[in-house]
Amino acid sequence: TMFSLKVILLLALHLLPEVKTSMVKLNNNGYEGIVIAVNPSVPEDEELIQNIKEMVTEASTYLFYATKRRVYFRNVSILIPMTWKSKSKYLMPKQESYEQADVIVADPHPTYSSDPYTLQYGQCGDKGQYIHFTPSFLLTNNSSIYGPRGRVFAHEWAHLRWGVFDEYNVDQPFYFSRKNTIEATRCSTHITGMNVVFNECKGGSCITRPCRRDSKTGLYEAKCTFIPDKSQTARDSIMFMQSLDSVVEFCTAKTHNREAPNLQNKMCNHRSTWDVISESPDFQNAIPLKGTNPPPHPTFSLLKSQQRVVCLVLDKSGSMSTEDDLGLSRLIRMNQAAEMYLIQIIEKGSMVGMVTFEDYATIQTNLIKITDDRAYLNITSKLPQVASGGTSICSGLKEGFQAITKSNQSTSGSEIILLTDGQDNGISSCFEEVKRSGAIIHTIALGPSAAKELEILSNMTGGHHFYVYKDINGLIDAFSRISSRSGDIAQQSLQLESKAFNITRNKWVNGTVVVDSTIGNDTFFVVTWTRRKPEIILQDPKGKIYETSDFKEDKLNIHSARLRIPGIAETGRWTYSLHNKHINSQLLTLTVTTRAKSPTTLPIIATAHMSQNTAHYPSPMIVYARVSQGFLPVLGISVTAIIEAEDGNQVTLELWDNGVGADTVKNDGIYSRYFTDYHGNGRYSLKIHAQARKNTARVSLRQQNKALYIPGYVENGKIIMNPPRPEIKEDAEKVELEDFSRLSLGESFIVSGAPPKGNHTPVFPPSKITDLQAKFQGDHIQLSWTASGNVLDKGKADHYIIRISKCFLDLQDDFHNALLVNTSGLIPKEAGSAEHFEFKPESLKIENGTGVYIAIQTISKANLTSEVSNIAHVTKFIPPWQSSAPALCTNISALSLTVFGFTVFVFILNE
């Protein structure tokens, strides 16, 4: 059995590396288990559901042919919110939840448009988080703007499932091609259209003029827009403009535009979308279906969310009496965290039960509806006081199911929070029963000996998994993360602070906690201690003082006391002071939780995860933290990650949102960093602190990875306009926020193959530079980029290699043989710093109209080399445009004519 258990564990770790537990599986060419969830704030509307079904059905056939008869949608669950009326056709969900949905239907920020988009911030080929459609998009006919909804869904599915990126670029809509022509950023270049500036638009008609050249860059002026022809012959690409009737394919290696300055080229090293898609795990076994028949239509299940049912399954075996360095047992720490969960975290109206286990399990309470303080006390009074016996995890789970069914509730869709510090060789014996139950199992592994199979339980049921060891607040933080999965953010508890202080005899410690204006309902301050209750002074922003006597001590002797702030907590900076009155040093902790100020106020939330749940050294991992208000990214804040290894070793990392290194896109509210400081094998935990200080925080109204809004089409030589999109003024794009703080625990992850602690040979090269930019200043070229680092995105590298060419392909395919630039005076700065370098391209003949391509590699102190950077392009441009410079790297010559302030290009093919 031990051999089969190891096989199960190995399989689980290799089959379930994804960070977001999606239920989607590809089975015999058909996708199964797709979850589309409607937000609780969306009003009931039968048409909405009908339109979702039609969109997915249309998308299924479109994708089937776009993937050359490989994949289609077989079955889809639509999750109806609790706020809608019950109907006999609605079934009960199992593990499907809003939190884990693949597609979310929700209203956007009031000032934001209805562009469909995918939350996607991984590397090339990585799955996205979810697709977001607004009710307005699904209920309004937008086909002239985005194309049919099914095509839009196919575009977004490619983002979500296969990790490809958009082939347009609204910030850089035009570029110089290697033929020395100005091209619209698109894929493929076979898509035709006009480049115009709109002077005045009324109704559906506009006065336009040709685009002029910018006197500095030589490209078209900022207001220039590419308007596609309605009638096209080009068949690709879905990731550029799926709205065109002719577009039915993804760009292939043959049709892909490698030069376009878009995110697909940046993220995927100039590879075509079809190259990336065809390498996805989905396509390894998806052999094209034979015949000419279209795929069968998808089947739909309507599931309605139920009230929340949670059963705590808590370990009280002998090892739970183990004391930490400060004299508190694991049992007491568990009880502190469980009590806090019951009083502060679980949402009102939920049904909660509790089971404890050792060699056998006992139902302490069947389900109790949480309505008032008495309900909490009925459960907390049964928390275990004595630890003894062995560890039978399956007994605990089975009794957990019993506690739920005895209360006339279904295990399907219920949640179990399983906490254990022990090993159990028989845990695999109940895997099948767990699967059949339909329950979601969240696991908390306490200490280095906790059963290694806990992650399998969480992964197979769509639950969370956490690891806690030396981090004294870790258990409280883990319980705080297990909040409602319904999508009702107003209900969710938010953690503002979680701090531990080792205070010597008779000393005070002071600090502050910020309560911002989006929160303040149901606010608790909790203090714990190891020896004796400290003196506590808490002052609100208006000067009101709460003292030790206001903090209610629990009746269970678990060394904690809490204060619930009546009504809505005052907005601003709260100040606390803790005084150790014990004769010896002791450890004190402070935890602060709260909820949204009101159901209509969107609170700021922070979530964190690693790029994978498992890593085999030396593959680097990426830490991600997402900070948002509703669906909008929060920028300009400080985000710190704390990663703890199984032996208690902690690493602190400052996360960045600067678009370099591990970070995909600058200013998208996703803060990222590479993690390479492995400290042995086993479980690691992740925690993040997000803080806004000195009024630097702001909300951005821009989203990435979305279906392109088409302003109009050219038909028979005339431009037919679409309704103008809602304009977002520049100053409204970044709305300032007050100071705030959030704390969140990420799920645990497992490392294998790491060297012994401290025995690290350099294996990680500097990260790739992705933001290289170039411009001409007289006869010199000025370069700017962000320093990558010595080890991926950390430290200072040894030196840079810069090469140039007049030919794009020289740098793309043969970097090492391109012309070398003298960089003897260029010393790399610290990772994340702005770098600037100027040089004169002596070896190239530069004339007016000459284009130069530049790329960089970074070399580490251990002589490891980064990937070649993005390829920057700069053209020597002296207005007025008089040059007839020959085309480069091609058999096409270009003749330029200046007519009425705009340029016409005439191409003569040299056969």
Return the active site residues.
Answer: 156
Helix, strand, coil distribution of the chain in percent, nearest 5 = 20, 35, 45
CA distance 129 to 131: 7
Sign of CA dihedral 51, 53, 54, 58: positive
Q: Taking the CA of residue 869 as centre, how many other CA atoms within 13 Å lie in the half-sphere pointing to its CB?
A: 30
H helix count then E strand count, the chain: 15, 51
The DSSP secondary-structure symbol of 237 reads -
Tokens of 581: 């009155």
CA distance 525 to 560: 11
Q: Which residues, 6+ apart, have CB-to-CB distance to 310 below 8 Å?
A: 346, 350, 351, 352, 353, 414, 415, 416, 417
The angle at the Cα of 140, spanning 138 to 142, to the nearest 5 degrees, equals: 95
The DSSP secondary-structure symbol of 817 reads G
CB 358 within 8 A of CB 317: yes
CA distance 337 to 591: 11
Tokens of 798: 């040894």
Tell me which residue has tokens 């219920």: 414
Q: Dihedrals φ, ψ of 377, to 5°?
A: -65, -35
Please report the DSSP string for 258-286 in residue order.
TTS-SHHHHHTTT--HHHHHHTSGGGTS-
Please report the DSSP string for 157-223 in residue order.
HHHHHH----S--TTS-EEE-TTS-EEES-SSTT--EEEEEEEEEETTEEEEEEPPBPTTTSSB-TT
CA distance 128 to 123: 10
CA distance 776 to 761: 42
CA distance 525 to 206: 60
CB 766 within 8 A of CB 801: no
DSSP H or E run through 14: helix 2-15
Q: Is the peptide bond before 880 cis (omega within 30 degrees of 0)?
A: yes
Residues making up the chain, counted from first to last: 911
